[in-house]
């Protein structure tokens, strides 16, 4: 499960849609063994050893049960009619039906207690293995690239983790608590049959076992494909449900509840069909197993019945062979169940293994050192990048953000603005060129130190479903409550928090949906303030705010960015007029650069964007003055005209960039 080495730069990246490698039983057990027998936990190793000791004792007690049954029957039927001397206590005990009956019960109690003791002893080992593997998978998911998570459906990914975790538990427990005990018990029973009866009984039993296991193998292999289809249908249904619930408001906006319900029901119908086939095939498997074993049981009992009639066996022998065969059926049934459950668990965890074998696109180089930020100078040197090799996004980008200065990046949609922020944060590695911070190539430093040095306020702020205090403290986990509250004041959200009934303990809801867009953005700014990084990256940080709030937040951002290196990805040009330099991107290249006044004087793309935004702002202000005297229907065309698309000579500059 160790990830492979990093792929070459010219190799197409893996996607989450790649087929997961087909896991095998042997390969899965090899992967799991270090967690069943953990090298760093002597206490868990001893639990495994003691579980095996208890297992052996319990199975020996199991072998005694049929003998006590036989002796009790023989005593009751008078099969042993030889006189018993009072001094011969052993023979007297065997000949006493009451003692034998009590012994039968006592041995069964001992067998049950030892078995449960063994299960309890091993429980910590099994759950430790589940925990370690689930933790490893969770960590690995966070190490995978942004590309993987953008293309992966969240609902399907959580189901992969959930089913994989359950599958690991099944396999670990089945191997130690079912497979090994079954092998031991079948071996002991064969020895007892040979010793107590003769080779014919062993032969019939072996034939029964072989046919039984072969049938189980064939039927289980047939059921694997059915089970895999059921899992895929389950994942699809779960994904559709989560996707619809996450877009609850959108569903309401378009009155699409019925359509969403029908869409979900179609996936559930496929799951229903696959589930019915799964349970039907299980019934076929169980019925076949019962028929095969019953034939073997009947054959051995017929042989013993003939022996009783001929006087070579007693009625106790007849009862004993029946008890032993019934006792054999339990581990045999477990063998079928063990194989079936392990194979099904392998199906459940093969996608988890597939995730574990995904290669993180961004990895620390061997011996990578922490980033040392002395002044905070950022430089892009001939940077090239493409999400798809056939569609380059950045085409030889070179610029510098001097230490303590503010540089803004503007341009039409699809120009590559947000890609710059992702590359600086190293969510992707550049395809060509390099990005330097104080002369250090960011690909040669540790990711953790790089990201610790950059404060990010994204365009789309997503909060954890927890309290406001938790979400702000996420910026620096060891911050005190006083520091959290000071960061909130700097971001100008403290007044809102104090007005809330629960204050800083207010729950923000799933993805922060209980807060407005502006409130979420202020929380994002507050946690970046708390982080106090030397470099700030603002990716259209005020795009979700109204004009009044925008100015307040802009004032806060200016205070925060003072004496810090700041790179601003801007949509509203009014927010970056004071930048030390403005860089205008178009189709992945720098087409203009300079200060606000210089770019307006150049009357190029920047001036065109500025004029269009001013016209839209003036239209909005005019609508505000008109107020309620104008019906909404009459105002709509004016607003539409104010934010109309670019003139024809700039249409090509706004090619959508699906990757951004």
Q: Which helix (H) or strand (E) holds 398?
A: strand 394-401
Give how far Cα 50 sits from Cα of 16, 117, 120, 295, Å. Answer: 43, 10, 11, 38
How high is the pLDDT of residue 95?
Answer: 52
Whose tokens are 């470099």? That residue is 535
Query: Would you place residue 107 in the very low, low, confident or very high pLDDT band (cuts 50, 70, 90)?
Result: confident
| Buried-exposed string 519-531: b where 16+ CB fall within 10 A, e elsewhere | bbbbbbbbbbbbb
d(CA 102, CA 83): 22
Cβ atoms of 104 and 110 closer than 8 Å:
no
CATH number of 25-356: 1.20.1560.10
Whose tokens are 């001939």? That residue is 382
Angle at 422 between CA 241 and CA 556, to 5 degrees: 95
Least confident of 33-42, 139-148, 464-473, 622-631: 622-631
Neighbouring C-beta atoms of residue 244, cutoff 10 Å: 19
Q: What is the mean pLDDT of the chain?
A: 77
Which tokens is 16 given?
Answer: 């989450």
Give how far Cα 353 sits from Cα of 24, 171, 231, 359, 579, Å. Answer: 11, 14, 15, 12, 49
Cβ atoms of 588 and 395 closer than 8 Å:
yes
Angle at 574 between CA 571 and CA 575, to 5 degrees: 70
What DSSP string describes 98-145?
HHHHHHHHHHHHHHHHHHHHHHHHHHHHHHHHHHHHHHHHHHHHHHS-
Give how far Cα 413 sits from Cα of 293, 406, 570, 647, Å. Answer: 70, 22, 11, 15
Neighbouring C-beta atoms of residue 112, cutoff 10 Å: 13
494-512: per-residue pLDDT in tens? 888 888 888 888 888 776 7
Q: Which helix (H) or strand (E) holds 177?
A: none
d(CA 502, CA 507): 8
Helix then strand then coil, % of the chain, to nearest 5: 65, 10, 25
How high is the pLDDT of residue 582?
Answer: 92
Query: Would you place residue 220 in the very low, low, confident or very high pLDDT band (cuts 50, 70, 90)?
Result: confident
d(CA 468, CA 501): 12
Whose tokens are 């017929």? That residue is 302
Segment 365-376 mean pLDDT: 88
Query: Would you place residue 22 in the very low, low, confident or very high pLDDT band (cuts 50, 70, 90)?
Result: low
d(CA 560, CA 651): 36
How high is the pLDDT of residue 632?
Answer: 44
Domain boundaries, the chain: 25-356, 378-590
d(CA 423, CA 397): 12
Segment 344-362 mean pLDDT: 75
Asked if the model's pLDDT at residue 560 lies above 90, the reply is no
Query: Which residues have C-beta within 8 Å of that of residue 652, sequence separation ≥ 6?
Result: none
Task: Output 206-210 pairs: Cβ under 8 A, ≥24 positions apart.
Answer: 207/296, 208/292, 208/293, 208/295, 208/296, 208/297, 208/299, 209/296, 209/332
Query: Would you place residue 96 in the very low, low, confident or very high pLDDT band (cuts 50, 70, 90)?
Result: low
What DSSP string describes 249-314?
HHHHHTT-HHHHHHHHHHHHHHHHHHHHHHHHHHHHHHHHHHHHHHHHHHHHHHHHHHHHHHTSS-
Of 486, 228, 219, 234, the closest CA to residue 336 belongs to: 219
Alpha-helical runs (H) found in 144-256: 146-151, 154-174, 180-196, 199-246, 248-253
Asked if the model's pLDDT at residue 564 lies above 70, the reply is yes
| pTM given for the model | 0.60
Percentage of the chain exceeding pLDDT 90: 5
- Its CATH architecture, for the domain 378-590, is 3-Layer(aba) Sandwich (3.40)
């Amino acid at each position: 499960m160790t990830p492979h080495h990093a792929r070459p730069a010219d190799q197409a990246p893996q996607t989450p849609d790649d087929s997961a490698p087909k896991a095998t039983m042997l390969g899965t057990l090899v992967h799991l063994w270090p967690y069943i027998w953990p090298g760093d936990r002597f206490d868990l190793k001893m639990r495994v050893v003691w579980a095996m000791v208890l297992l052996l004792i319990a199975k020996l007690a199991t072998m005694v049960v049929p003998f006590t049954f036989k002796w009790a029957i023989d005593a009751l039927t008078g099969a042993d009619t030889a006189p018993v001397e009072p001094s011969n206590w052993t023979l007297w005990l065997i000949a006493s039906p009451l003692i034998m009956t009590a012994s039968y019960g006592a041995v069964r109690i001992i067998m049950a207690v030892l078995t449960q003791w063994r299960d309890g002893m091993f429980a910590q080992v099994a759950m430790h293995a589940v925990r370690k593997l689930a933790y490893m998978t969770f960590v690995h998911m966070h190490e995978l690239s942004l590309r993987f998570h953008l293309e992966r459906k969240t609902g399907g990914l959580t189901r992969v983790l959930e089913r994989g975790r359950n599958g690991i538990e099944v396999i670990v427990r089945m191997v130690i608590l079912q497979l090994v005990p079954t092998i031991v018990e079948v071996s002991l029973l064969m020895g007892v049959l040979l010793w107590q009866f003769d080779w014919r009984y062993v032969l019939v039993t072996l034939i029964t076992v072989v046919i039984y296991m072969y049938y189980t193998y064939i039927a289980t292999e047939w059921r694997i494909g059915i089970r895999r289809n059921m899992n895929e249908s389950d994942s699809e249904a779960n994904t559709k449900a989560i996707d619809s619930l996450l877009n609850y408001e959108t569903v309401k906006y378009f009155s699409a509840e019925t359509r969403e319900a029908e869409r979900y029901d179609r996936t559930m119908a496929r799951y229903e069909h696959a589930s019915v086939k799964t349970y039907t095939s299980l019934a076929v498997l169980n019925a076949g197993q019962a028929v095969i074993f019953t034939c073997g049981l009947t054959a051995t009992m017929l042989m013993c019945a003939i022996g009783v009639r001929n006087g070579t066996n007693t009625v106790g022998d007849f009862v004993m062979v029946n008890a032993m065969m019934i006792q054999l059926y339990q581990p045999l049934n477990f063998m079928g169940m063990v194989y079936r459950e392990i194979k099904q668990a392998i199906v459940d965890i093969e996608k988890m293994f597939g995730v574990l074998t995904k290669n993180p696109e961004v990895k620390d180089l061997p011996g990578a050192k922490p980033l040392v930020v002395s002044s905070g100078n950022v430089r892009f040197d001939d940077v090239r990048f493409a999400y798809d090799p056939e569609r380059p996004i950045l085409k030889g980008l070179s610029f510098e953000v001097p230490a303590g200065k503010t540089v803004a990046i503007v341009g039409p949609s699809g120009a590559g603005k947000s890609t710059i922020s992702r590359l600086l944060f190293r969510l992707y590695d550049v395809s060509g060129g390099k990005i330097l911070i104080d002369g250090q190539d960011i690909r040669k430093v540790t990711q953790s130190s790089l990201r610790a040095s950059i404060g990010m306020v994204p365009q789309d702020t997503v909060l954890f479903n927890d309290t406001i205090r938790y979400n702000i403290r996420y910026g620096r986990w060891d911050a005190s409550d006083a520091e959290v509250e000071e960061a909130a004041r700097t971001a100008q959200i403290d007044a809102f928090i104090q007005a809330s009934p629960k204050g800083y303990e207010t729950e923000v809801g799933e993805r922060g949906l209980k807060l407005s867009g502006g409130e979420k953005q202020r929380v994002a700014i507050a946690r970046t303030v708390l982080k106090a990084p030397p470099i700030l990256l603002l990716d259209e940080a005020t795009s979700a705010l109204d004009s009044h709030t925008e100015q307040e937040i802009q004032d806060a951002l200016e205070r925060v960015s003072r004496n810090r290196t700041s790179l601003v990805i801007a949509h509203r040009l009014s927010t970056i007029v004071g930048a030390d330099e403005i860089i205008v991107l178009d189709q992945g290249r720098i087409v203009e650069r300079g200060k606000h006044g210089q770019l307006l004087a150049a009357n190029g793309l920047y001036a065109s964007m500025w004029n269009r935004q001013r016209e839209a702002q003036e239209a909005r202000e005019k609508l505000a003055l008109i107020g309620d005297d104008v019906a909404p229907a009459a105002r709509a065309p004016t607003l539409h005209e104010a934010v109309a698309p670019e003139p024809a000579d700039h249409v090509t500059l706004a090619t959508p960039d699906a990757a951004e």
